[in-house]
C-alpha cells in the first residue's frame, strides 16, 4: 500500500508539472493571460503529489514495510525513531524525494506570494521555469531514482542506515537545511530566466527575489555549518572542514550566492552589473545541480557520496542544459543588458563591491578547479589524481584575507566617490579594533603571519560592523538592528567569528596519540587527561565500548567505539570538552584487549572551535534581521510594473546622513 500510494503521488506531481508547463506555454504564446491563473491549480496538485509521496515513504520507514526496496535496504527495526525518520534522506532515492518535496514547497510559496499577479508574464515565465525543474526531478523519481520499488519477497529486517548517519542528532537537521538552501536558489533563477525571456531586465526582478535569495543563502549557510559540526562530532579526526569534494559542492553555490547578495545592491542603486548579476544567479543554480551530481552520482569517494547509479548522467545533462539556456538567454538580451551607470571611482562602495565580487569569483574558480579537475583527468585518461588540502589552503588563504579586508572597508565607503577625510573618519575605530586584536593575540602567544593577519582583519571587520550597527541604533532605536544593511552587519559579525575561529583552530592545534593504563594520565596542550576505565553497553541498534576519561581533574568524558549490526568494523564516536577558550577532543582509537588493559587515545586541543558554531548562529540571526524592512526604504516596484531605472546618488541610510567628522 505504501509503495502504491507513493508511486501515485510521484505520478500526480510529474503529470501536474507537465500540465502546468502546457498551461503557461499556451497562455504566454496566445496572450490569454487569464489562463495563467489556472497554473495555481497545477501547483496545488504538484504539492499534493509530493506530500503524498513523502508521507508514504515515511510511513513505510516507521511501520517497517520491508516490501519496499528502499526500506529493506536502509531501514531496520533496531534504528531509533529519530534516525528512522531521517533514513529517508540517508540514501539516493530518498534524498531526491526530499528535494522534490522542498521544490514543491517553494513552488507553492511563490504562487501564494504572487497570487494577485499571476497574469503578469514575468510571474508566468518564473512559474514555467519552476514547473520545468519539477518535471525533471519528479521524472527522475519515476525512472532511475524511483524510491518506491518493491520486492517479491520481503525480508524480516533491514541493515539500517549507514552507521555514520545514525549516531549524531545533527544528521536529522543538516541535510534538510542544506536542501532548503540548494532548492531555494531555484526561485531567483526562475525570475532571472523570466526577466530575460520578457526583456524586463532592469531592477524589478531583483526587488521581487532578494528575500528569496537571502533565505536560500541563510539556509545554505546554516546547513554548511551544521555539516561541519557533524563532521567534527562524528568522524573522529578532530577537524570540521577537509575540502572534501562534496563539502566543496555545497560551498561553491554559497560563494556565488554571497557575491550576488552584494552586487545586487550595486544594480539596485546605480543600475550597474546587470549581466554580472544575471550570470551569478544562473551560476548559483547551476552549481546546486552540479553539487547534486557530485553527491548523488557516485563519481566521488566520500562519506557523503551515495552509490553509483544512472542518475549521474541525467543530472550532468540537466546541468549542461541549464548552463546552455542561461548563456543563450543572456547572449540574446545582450543589447538590453547595457548598464546605464558606471563606476566613477574605484574608492567607492560600488568599486569595493566589484572588487568583492571578483574575489568571490576567483575563490569559486579555485575551489571548482580543485574539485572537478581530478574527475576530468580520470574521465579522459583513466588516471586517478588527488588535489589535497595544501592546494586549497594555499590558493584560498590570500583570497579569504582579501575578503575580510573588503568586508570591513566596503560598508564605510559612500556611493560614487570617497574622500580621504571621510575614509579616515569612518575607518578610525575599526582600525583601532584590528590593531587591538593583533596586540591581544600576540600577548596571548599567537605567532605566524597568516593567523595574525586573520585576527587583525577580523577585528577590523568586526569594528566596522559594530560601528555601523551602533550608529543605526543610536538614530533609529531597535529598528537599527533590522533591514538589509544593518542585518547584513550582524551577518558580517558571524562571518568574522567563523574566520577568526578557523584561523586559530587550524593554526594552533596540538595533537597526540597516547596509550594509557587505568589511572594513568597524560598532558596534552596544557590539559591533563586521565583514563579511568572502560565499560560496555548494549543499545537497541549497536554495542558501545566506552572509555571513561577525566579532563583536568573535573568532568568525565566518554569517547567510545561502536559496533552496528550492518557494520564490518567498530566506528569511533569522539567526546569533546568544549569551552570558549579551547576544545579538548578525545577519540578512542583502540580498546583494551583484556580487562584492565591499556587504551589508545587521540587527544586534540584546538582553540576557539566553539565560536565556529556561534558564528553560524549569528549568521542565521543576521539573515533573519536583514529580511525585515528597515525604516528608510526605497519604494519597491511590483513584478507587474514597468521596468524603471534605479534612483541615483541617494544618500546612505546612516552614514551619508551624518556630517563628516561625526564618529
Residue-wise pLDDT tens digits, 201-233: 877 788 888 899 999 999 999 999 999 999 999
Residue 368 lies in a domain: yes
Side-chain half-sphere exposure of 328, counting CA atoms within 13 A: 7
Give the pTM: 0.90
Residue 397: what pLDDT?
A: 93
Question: How far apart, in whole angstroms, are the C-alpha atoms of residue 492 and residue 464?
Answer: 9
Q: Write out the residue range of the structural domain in which residue 98 sits.
A: 1-161
Average pLDDT over residues 545-572: 88
Q: Which of 375, 395, 415 is the last residue of a domain?
A: 395
Boundary of a domain, candidates 591, 607, 623: 607
The reply to whether 66 and 180 lie within a common domain is: no
Query: What is the model's pLDDT at position 604?
Result: 96
- Residue 467 forms part of a structural domain: no
Q: Are residues 207 and 74 in the same domain?
A: no
379 and 330: one domain? yes
pLDDT for the residue 567: 67
In a domain, 400, yes or no: no
649 class by beta-carbon count within 10 Å (0-12 exposed, 13-18 middle, 19+ buried): exposed
pLDDT of residue 97: 95
Task: Among 328, 360, 395, give the residue marking a domain's end.
Answer: 395
Question: Could you write out the DSSP letters of every residue in 145-163?
Answer: T-TT-B-SS--S----S-G
Residues 16 and 138 in one domain: yes
**Cell (9 digits) for 604:** 586534540
Q: pLDDT higher for 283 or 307?
A: 283
Do 266 and 153 reside in the same domain of the chain?
no
Q: What angle do CA 552, 555, 561 make, to 5 degrees?
A: 100
What DSSP assignment string belongs to 553-574?
TS-EE--EEEE-TT-SS-EEE-
Q: How far apart are CA 129 and CA 124, in angstroms?
A: 9
Tell me whether residue 627 is in a domain.
no
Note whether 268 and 385 are same-domain residues.
yes
| Residue-level pLDDT at 575 | 94
Residues 93 and 193 in one domain: no
CA dihedral 322, 327, 328, 331 (to 10 degrees): 160
The reply to whether 620 falls in a domain is: no
Clarify whether residues 186 and 150 are in a common domain: no
Mean pLDDT of 5-19: 96
Q: Would you say residue 459 lies in a domain?
A: no
For residues 337 and 312, membership in a common domain is answered with yes
Stretch 616-639: mean pLDDT, rounded?
72
Q: Is residue 650 part of a domain?
A: no
pLDDT single digits (tens) 512-522:
999 999 999 99
Domain count, the chain: 3
Residue 390 lies in a domain: yes
DSSP string, 414-425: PSS---HHHHHH
DSSP letter string, 60-93 = HHHTT-TTBHHHHHH--TTS-HHHHHHGGGSSHH
Q: Are 306 and 296 within 8 A, CB to CB?
A: yes
For 321-331, what is the mean pLDDT?
Answer: 94
DSSP three-state, residue 260:
helix
The answer to whether residues 72 and 158 touch, using CB atoms and an 8 Å cutoff, is yes
Interatomic CA distance for residues 20 and 13, integer angstroms: 10
Asked if 529 and 387 sit in the same domain, the reply is no
Q: Are residues 322 and 282 part of one domain?
A: yes
Pure H helices in 477-588: 484-507
What is Dmax (Cα atoms) for the chain?
83
Mean pLDDT of the chain: 87
Q: Summarize pLDDT for 564-579 with one digit per residue, the tens.
A: 876 667 888 999 999 9
Same domain, 149 and 197: no
Amino acid at each position: 500500500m505504501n509503495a502504491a500510494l507513493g508511486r501515485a503521488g510521484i505520478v500526480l506531481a510529474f503529470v501536474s508539472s507537465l500540465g502546468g508547463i502546457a498551461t503557461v506555454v499556451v497562455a504566454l504564446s496566445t496572450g490569454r493571460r487569464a489562463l495563467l491563473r489556472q497554473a495555481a491549480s497545477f501547483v496545488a496538485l504538484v504539492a499534493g503529489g509530493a506530500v503524498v509521496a513523502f508521507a508514504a515513504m515515511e510511513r513505510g520507514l516507521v511501520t517497517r514495510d520491508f516490501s519496499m526496496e528502499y526500506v529493506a535496504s536502509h531501514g531496520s527495526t533496531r534504528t531509533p525513531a529519530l534516525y528512522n525518520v531521517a533514513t529517508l534522506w540517508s540514501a539516493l532515492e530518498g534524498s531526491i524525494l526530499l528535494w522534490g518535496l522542498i521544490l514543491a514547497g517553494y513552488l507553492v510559496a511563490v504562487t501564494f506570494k504572487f497570487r494577485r499577479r499571476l497574469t503578469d508574464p514575468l510571474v508566468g515565465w518564473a512559474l514555467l521555469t519552476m514547473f520545468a525543474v519539477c518535471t525533471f526531478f519528479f521524472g527522475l523519481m519515476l525512472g532511475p531514482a524511483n524510491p518506491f520499488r518493491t520486492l517479491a519477497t520481503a525480508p524480516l529486517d533491514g541493515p539500517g542506515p549507514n552507521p555514520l548517519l545514525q549516531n549524531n542528532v545533527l544528521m536529522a537537521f543538516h541535510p534538510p537545511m542544506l536542501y532548503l538552501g540548494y532548492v531555494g536558489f531555484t526561485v531567483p533563477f526562475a525570475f532571472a530566466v523570466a526577466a530575460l525571456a520578457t526583456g524586463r531586465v532592469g531592477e524589478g526582478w531583483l526587488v521581487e527575489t532578494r528575500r528569496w535569495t537571502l533565505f536560500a543563502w541563510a539556509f545554505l549557510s546554516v546547513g554548511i555549518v551544521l555539516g561541519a559540526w557533524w563532521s567534527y562530532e562524528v568522524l573522529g579526526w578532530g577537524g570540521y572542514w577537509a575540502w572534501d569534494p562534496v563539502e566543496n559542492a555545497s560551498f561553491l553555490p554559497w560563494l556565488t550566492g554571497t557575491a550576488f547578495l552584494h552586487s545586487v545592491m550595486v544594480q539596485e542603486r546605480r543600475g550597474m552589473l546587470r549581466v554580472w548579476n544575471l550570470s551569478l544567479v544562473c551560476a548559483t543554480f547551476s552549481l546546486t545541480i552540479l553539487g547534486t551530481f557530485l553527491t548523488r552520482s557516485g563519481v566521488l569517494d566520500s562519506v557523503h557520496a551515495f552509490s553509483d547509479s544512472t542518475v549521474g548522467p541525467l543530472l550532468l545533462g540537466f546541468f549542461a542544459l541549464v548552463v546552455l539556456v542561461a548563456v543563450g538567454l543572456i547572449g540574446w538580451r545582450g543589447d538590453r543588458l547595457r548598464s546605464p551607470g558606471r563606476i566613477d571611482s574605484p574608492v567607492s562602495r560600488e568599486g569595493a563591491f566589484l572588487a568583492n565580487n571578483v574575489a568571490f569569483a576567483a575563490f569559486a574558480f579555485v575551489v571548482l578547479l580543485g574539485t572537478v579537475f581530478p574527475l576530468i583527468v580520470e574521465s579522459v585518461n583513466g588516471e586517478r589524481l588527488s588535489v589535497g588540502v595544501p592546494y586549497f589552503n594555499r590558493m584560498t588563504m590570500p583570497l579569504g584575507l582579501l575578503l575580510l579586508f573588503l568586508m570591513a572597508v566596503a560598508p564605510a565607503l559612500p556611493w560614487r566617490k570617497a574622500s580621504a577625510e571621510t575614509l579616515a573618519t569612518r575607518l578610525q575605530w575599526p582600525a583601532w579594533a584590528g590593531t587591538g586584536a593583533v596586540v591581544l593575540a600576540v600577548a596571548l602567544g599567537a605567532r605566524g603571519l597568516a593567523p595574525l593577519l586573520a585576527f587583525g582583519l577580523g577585528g577590523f571587520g568586526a569594528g566596522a560592523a559594530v560601528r555601523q550597527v551602533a550608529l543605526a541604533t543610536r538614530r533609529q532605536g531597535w529598528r537599527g538592528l533590522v533591514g538589509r544593511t544593518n542585518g547584513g552587519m550582524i551577518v558580517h559579525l558571524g562571518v568574522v567569528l567563523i574566520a577568526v575561529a578557523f584561523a586559530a583552530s587550524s593554526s594552533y592545534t596540538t595533537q597526540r596519540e597516547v596509550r594509557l593504563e587505568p589511572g594513568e594520565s597524560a598532558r596534552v596542550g596544557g590539559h591533563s587527561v586521565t583514563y579511568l576505565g572502560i565499560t560496555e553497553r548494549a543499545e537497541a541498534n549497536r554495542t558501545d565500548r566506552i572509555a571513561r576519561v577525566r579532563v583536568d581533574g573535573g568532568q568525565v568524558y566518554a569517547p567510545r567505539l561502536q559496533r552496528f549490526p550492518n557494520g564490518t568494523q567498530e566506528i569511533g564516536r569522539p567526546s569533546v570538552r568544549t569551552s570558549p577558550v579551547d576544545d579538548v577532543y578525545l577519540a578512542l582509537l583502540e580498546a583494551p584487549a583484556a580487562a584492565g588493559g591499556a587504551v589508545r587515545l587521540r587527544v586534540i586541543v584546538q582553540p576557539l572551535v566553539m565560536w565556529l558554531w556561534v558564528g553560524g548562529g549569528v549568521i542565521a540571526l543576521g539573515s533573519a534581521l536583514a529580511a525585515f524592512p528597515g525604516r528608510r526604504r526605497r519604494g519597491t516596484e511590483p513584478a507587474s510594473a514597468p521596468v524603471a531605472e534605479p534612483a541615483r546618488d541617494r544618500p546612505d541610510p546612516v552614514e551619508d546622513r551624518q556630517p563628516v567628522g561625526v564618529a
